[in-house]
C-alpha cells in the first residue's frame, strides 16, 4: 500500500502562449494538510483543476493509493472521493443553501425531491463542524463568508476524503479564519487528506504539515513546514527577498477630499438599516480604513458611495461637490476610483480581452474613441503600457481573455486601471484578497505611493494585518454604524477585534 493517498506525477498542462504546469510532481499523504504555495499565475489552481478533472493534462499520471486513475471530469473526481472548494464559488445564487449542497446528489421519489434526510444530514454536519449556516437562506442573501461555508458543506455532504481548498480564507474574517483552521485540523484528525492552496504564510505555519512551492509553472520543492521560516518560504515562492511589513512614513493629510454625512441605506427585504447614519471624512494624503467583520454594512456603504446602490438618506461629497445622486460615470470622471470587492461581478467583463478591461472607465475619452468608433490600436497600446508598468501576467498580452487569467492578475488589472486614471479619491475594497506576498507588497506600495502623492484613500479590509499596516486612521463599522475611530499606533489587534465584534464602542467625532 502506498504511503501517499494521491500522487500527481510529472504533470504538464499548457494553454495558448503559456505552460501553466511544467512537469510537476505532488504527493499527498493520508491525513495530512499539504499546502500548495506560489505567486499568482504560478499554476497552483491549474494543478488542482487537473486533479479535480476540470482540465486534462498533456503529460503525466495521477495515482490514488498507488493505482493509476483516470479523472476525466469532476464526477470522476467525486467518485474517487475528491472534493474541491474553488476560489470563486460554484453556487446557484437563486437557490437555497440546502438546494446548493444537494445539487447533483438529489434523492427523489416518484419524480419529487425528498429533502428531509438531506436537511437532517446538512444540519448535523453544520453543527458538527461549527459551520452554522441557515439551510433555507438564499445564496444571494448571505455573505461571502457564509457562501464559503456552503462550499465546505458540499464536500462534507458527499463524504469526500481528499479535500482541495483553493484560497479558502481569501474572503473570511479573522474570526472565521480561526474557525476554519480548527475545522481543517479536525478533518485531518479524522483521516481526511487536505490540499490547501494559499498565499498566506501565517496560515501555512499554523495548519500545514508539508508545503510544495511552485514558481512560474515549475516545481521548486517540498518542505516540512515546522523547519522553515516564513521569510524562507516567501523567498522560495517569489525568487527574491520580500518585505513582509509595509514601509511607510507618517501621513501629512491636508484638505478634505471626500465626506459622507448621515448616509443611510435600508435593506428592501427586511426593512432594516444596513448603513445607519454614517458620517466620515477622508483628507488628501491619508489612508482611512473601514474595518469590520464581513456583513456589517461595508458592502452597502461602498455601493451607496460609488453609485451602485441609491442611499435612502444622507449626503456624499467629492471635492466639495454633492454627488449623492450623480451617475457612476460622473463620479468616475470627477475624481473617484474604485477597486471593487467582487472583481468578477463589478470589476471586469470576464469574456473581454484584458486591453478592453483596462479602458472600461475611459473608452469614451477622445484618446480611445472618435465619432463613436473605438481606436483599437490606441486601446491595445495603452493596454501594453499598463501590463508592463503593473506587471500583469497574461499569456497573450492585451488580447488575453480576462476570464483565463489568475485571480491575482485579474486584481492587478483592476488596480492598474483605477490608479492610472489618477483619481483624487481611491476606494479600495479588499484590494489584496487572494493575492500572494509579492503582489500584496506591490499593491500596498501603490496605495502608499498614492497617499504620498496627495490622494485620499478609503480602504475597506477584513485583513487585520493590512488594516494595522496601512491605515493612518481606522473607522470600525458594526451593524451599519461607525462605532469607533482609532489610531493604529495606539490600538492592539485584540482591542480592534473587540470593537469589530461590537463588544466595545467609542464616541466618534
pLDDT value for 127 = 84
The answer to whether the CB of 237 falls within 8 A of the CB of 39 is yes
Work out the percent of the chain whose per-residue pLDDT is above 90.
Answer: 52
pLDDT value for 368 = 95
User: pLDDT-based confidence at 1, cuts 50/70/90?
Assistant: low
pLDDT in tens, 203-241: 899 999 999 999 889 999 999 999 998 888 888 887 777
Q: Are 410 and 438 contained in the same domain?
A: no
pLDDT value for 18 = 82
What domain range includes position 132?
4-238
User: pLDDT-based confidence at 116, cuts 50/70/90?
Assistant: confident
DSSP 299-342: HHHHHHHHTSS--SEEEEEETTEE-TT--HHHHHHTTEEEE-S-
User: pLDDT-based confidence at 507, cuts 50/70/90?
Assistant: low
Of the three residues 374, 390, 422, the one that is the final residue of a domain is 422
Looking from the CA of 246 toward its CB, the CA atoms found within 13 Å total: 21
Domain count, the chain: 3
Q: In 172-209, at which residue ranges do the beta strands (DSSP E only) sit?
A: 193-198
Q: What is the mean pLDDT of residues 106-110?
A: 72
Q: Are 170 and 28 contained in the same domain?
A: yes
Q: Are 255 and 395 contained in the same domain?
A: no
| 340 is a domain residue | no
Of the three residues 172, 207, 238, the one that is the final residue of a domain is 238
Looking from the CA of 234 toward its CB, the CA atoms found within 13 Å total: 20
Q: Are 429 and 289 contained in the same domain?
A: yes
pLDDT in tens, 290-332: 998 877 899 999 999 999 999 999 999 999 999 999 999 999 9
Query: What phi, psi does 372 have (nearest 5°)?
Result: 85, 0
Q: Are 395 and 433 contained in the same domain?
A: no
Q: Is 282 exposed, middle or buried (0-12, 13-18, 19+ CB in 10 A)?
A: buried
CATH number at residue 38: 3.40.50.300
pLDDT value for 172 = 67
pTM: 0.67
User: pLDDT-based confidence at 336, cuts 50/70/90?
Assistant: very high
pLDDT value for 359 = 95
Q: Residue 256 above 70 pLDDT?
A: yes
Q: Residue 333 above 70 pLDDT?
A: yes
| 167 is a domain residue | yes
Residue 318: alpha-carbon gap to chain centroid: 28
- Nearest to residue 449, comparing CAs of 241, 240, 246, 238? 246
User: pLDDT-based confidence at 171, cuts 50/70/90?
Assistant: low
pLDDT value for 428 = 96
Q: Are 409 and 494 contained in the same domain?
A: no
pLDDT value for 362 = 93
Q: Are 260 and 141 contained in the same domain?
A: no
pLDDT value for 173 = 63
User: pLDDT-based confidence at 442, cuts 50/70/90?
Assistant: confident
Name which of 91-105, 238-252, 466-480 the model is least confident about: 238-252
Q: Are 415 and 435 contained in the same domain?
A: no
Q: Residue 509 above 60 pLDDT?
A: no
| 342 is a domain residue | no
pLDDT in tens, 39-81: 777 888 899 999 999 999 999 999 999 999 999 999 999 999 9
pLDDT, averaged across the chain: 88
pLDDT in tens, 467-495: 988 999 999 999 999 999 999 999 888 78
Q: Are 232 and 247 contained in the same domain?
A: no
Of the three residues 375, 396, 422, the one that is the final residue of a domain is 422
User: pLDDT-based confidence at 131, cuts 50/70/90?
Assistant: confident
Q: Are 177 and 263 contained in the same domain?
A: no
pLDDT in tens, 262-298: 999 998 877 889 999 999 999 999 999 999 887 789 9
| 479 is a domain residue | yes
Q: What is the mean pLDDT of residues 141-150?
A: 81
pLDDT value for 242 = 64
pLDDT value for 349 = 95
Amino acid at each position: 500500500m502506498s504511503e501517499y493517498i494521491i500522487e500527481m506525477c510529472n504533470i504538464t498542462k499548457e494553454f495558448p502562449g503559456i505552460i501553466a504546469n511544467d512537469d510537476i510532481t505532488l504527493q499527498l499523504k493520508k491525513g495530512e494538510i499539504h499546502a500548495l504555495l506560489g505567486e499568482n499565475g504560478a499554476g497552483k489552481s491549474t494543478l488542482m483543476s487537473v486533479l479535480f478533472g476540470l482540465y486534462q493534462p498533456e503529460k503525466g499520471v495521477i495515482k490514488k493509493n498507488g493505482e493509476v486513475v483516470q479523472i476525466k471530469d469532476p464526477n470522476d473526481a467525486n467518485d474517487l472521493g475528491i472534493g474541491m472548494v474553488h476560489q470563486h464559488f460554484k453556487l446557484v445564487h437563486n437557490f437555497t443553501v440546502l438546494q446548493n449542497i444537494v445539487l447533483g446528489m438529489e434523492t427523489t421519489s416518484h419524480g419529487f425531491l425528498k429533502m428531509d434526510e438531506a436537511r437532517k444530514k446538512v444540519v448535523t454536519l453544520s453543527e458538527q463542524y461549527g459551520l452554522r449556516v441557515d439551510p433555507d437562506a438564499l445564496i444571494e442573501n448571505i455573505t461571502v463568508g457564509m457562501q464559503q461555508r456552503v462550499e465546505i458543506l458540499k464536500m462534507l455532504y458527499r463524504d469526500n476524503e481528499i479535500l482541495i481548498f483553493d484560497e479558502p480564507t481569501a474572503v473570511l474574517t479573522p474570526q472565521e479564519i480561526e474557525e476554519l483552521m480548527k475545522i481543517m485540523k479536525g478533518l485531518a484528525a479524522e483521516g481526511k487528506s487536505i490540499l490547501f492552496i494559499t498565499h498566506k504564510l501565517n496560515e501555512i505555519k499554523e495548519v500545514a504539515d508539508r508545503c510544495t512551492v511552485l514558481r512560474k509553472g515549475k516545481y521548486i520543492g517540498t518542505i516540512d513546514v515546522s523547519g522553515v521560516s516564513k521569510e524562507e518560504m516567501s523567498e522560495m515562492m517569489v525568487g527574491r527577498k520580500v518585505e513582509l511589513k509595509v514601509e511607510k512614513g507618517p501621513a501629512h493629510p491636508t484638505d478634505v477630499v471626500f465626506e459622507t454625512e448621515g448616509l443611510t441605506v435600508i435593506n428592501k427585504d427586511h426593512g432594516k438599516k444596513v448603513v445607519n447614519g454614517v458620517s466620515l471624512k477622508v483628507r488628501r494624503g491619508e489612508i482611512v480604513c473601514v474595518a469590520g467583520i464581513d456583513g456589517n454594512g461595508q458592502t452597502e456603504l461602498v455601493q451607496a458611495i460609488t453609485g451602485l446602490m441609491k442611499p435612502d438618506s444622507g449626503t456624499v461629497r467629492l471635492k466639495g461637490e454633492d454627488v449623492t445622486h450623480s451617475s457612476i460615470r460622473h463620479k468616475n470622471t470627477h475624481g473617484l476610483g474604485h477597486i471593487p470587492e467582487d472583481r468578477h461581478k463589478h470589476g471586469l467583463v470576464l469574456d473581454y480581452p484584458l486591453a478592453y478591461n483596462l479602458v472600461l472607465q475611459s473608452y469614451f475619452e477622445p484618446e480611445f474613441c472618435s465619432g463613436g468608433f473605438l481606436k483599437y490600436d490606441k486601446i491595445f497600446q495603452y493596454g501594453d503600457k499598463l501590463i508592463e508598468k503593473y506587471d500583469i501576467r497574461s499569456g497573450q498580452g492585451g488580447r488575453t481573455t480576462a476570464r483565463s487569467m489568475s485571480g491575482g492578475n485579474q486584481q492587478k488589472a483592476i488596480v492598474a486601471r483605477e490608479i492610472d486614471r489618477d483619481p483624487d479619491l481611491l476606494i479600495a475594497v479588499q484590494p489584496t484578497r487572494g493575492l500572494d506576498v509579492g503582489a500584496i507588497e506591490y499593491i500596498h506600495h501603490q496605495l502608499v505611493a498614492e497617499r504620498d502623492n496627495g490622494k485620499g484613500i478609503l480602504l475597506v479590509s477584513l485583513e487585520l494585518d493590512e488594516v494595522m499596516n496601512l491605515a493612518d486612521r481606522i473607522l470600525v463599522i458594526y451593524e451599519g454604524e461607525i462605532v469607533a475611530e482609532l489610531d493604529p499606533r495606539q490600538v492592539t489587534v485584540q482591542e480592534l477585534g473587540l470593537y469589530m465584534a461590537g463588544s466595545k464602542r467609542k464616541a466618534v467625532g
